[in-house]
Amino acid sequence: AETRIVCCASKGWCRAIAWYQIVIAIWFSFVSFGRLILASQQHDKG
């Protein structure tokens, strides 16, 4: 609820925070996907 008040106060900050969360979500999914690929490659070599 508090974050919504901040968003109403300054939409610029709300937009920045939303983009920040999206970038982090994409980054984490990319890192986890990369780890899966590395793990599968190591497993194939082993």
pLDDT tens profile 21-38: 999 999 999 999 999 999
Place of tokens 């969360």: 21
Is it the case that residue 43 has pLDDT exceeding 90? no
**Backbone region of residue 10 per phi and psi (left: phi > 0; alpha: psi in -120 to 50; beta: other values):** beta
Residue 14 CB coordination number (10 Å)? 15
Better-scored residue on pLDDT, 14 or 8? 14
What is the Cα–Cα distance from 26 to 9, expressed in whole angstroms? 27
Q: Note the pTM of the prediction, 2 decimals.
A: 0.53
